[in-house]
Amino acid sequence: MTTETAEPEHAGYLVAPADWPGDAASIRAIRDAVFVRELGIPADLEWDGLDPDCAHLLAYDMQGNPIGTARMQADGHIGRMAVLPAWRDRGVGGALLLMLIELAAAHGLDEVYLHAQTAAAGFYHRHGFIASGDEFAAAGIPHIRMTRFTTDP
């Protein structure tokens, strides 16, 4: 993973590569807050054992506090995108997503995919993802598979 950071102009945050297990406490805190406590996903489903083999990102506010996270598996499966409520609708999720797409392209992947919560499908669509297949339930929440090329076809 690269060591570059991305900071959208005037956004008040930055996105940087994270290291598992070095940043595990920060990643866990965000995902526990969003997925386990806010969405009610059982902890044993959230902590699937795949994190050591994934590329991770963390978003930080300008004081260095973690505010968002996302991961990508080696096959281009993006997941576990979580942004703390106070930072939503401020571009953090989009910045995390775009950095993972760039990372996938840098690793020679032509395509990335994710399982979007159906309620969030519009967000992913605005970032170039196309829904495919039927809706399905994951952790009791409706999801849809979405894919996107990492470069222009």
Is residue 141 situated within a structural domain?
no
- CATH code, domain with 48: 3.40.630.30
How many distinct structural domains can be found in the chain? Answer: 1
Q: Does 72 map to a domain?
A: yes
What tens digit of pLDDT does each residue of 84-127 get?
999 999 999 999 999 999 999 999 999 999 999 999 999 999 99
In this structure, the strands spanning 13-18 and 130-138 are unpaired
31, 67 Cβ separation under 8 angstroms = no
Nearest to 145 by CA among 109, 11, 125: 125
Residue 103, domain member (yes or no): yes
**Tens-place pLDDT, residues 33-78:** 999 999 999 999 999 999 999 999 999 999 999 999 999 999 999 9
Per-residue model confidence (pLDDT) at position 1: 38
Share of the chain above pLDDT 90, in %: 87
132 occurs within a structural domain: no
Residue 9 clears pLDDT 90, i.e. is over it: no
Its domain, for residue 59, covers 13-109
For residue 7, the model assigns a pLDDT of 53
- Tell me, yes or no, whether 3 lies in a domain: no
Grade residue 2 by pLDDT with cuts at 50, 70 and 90: very low
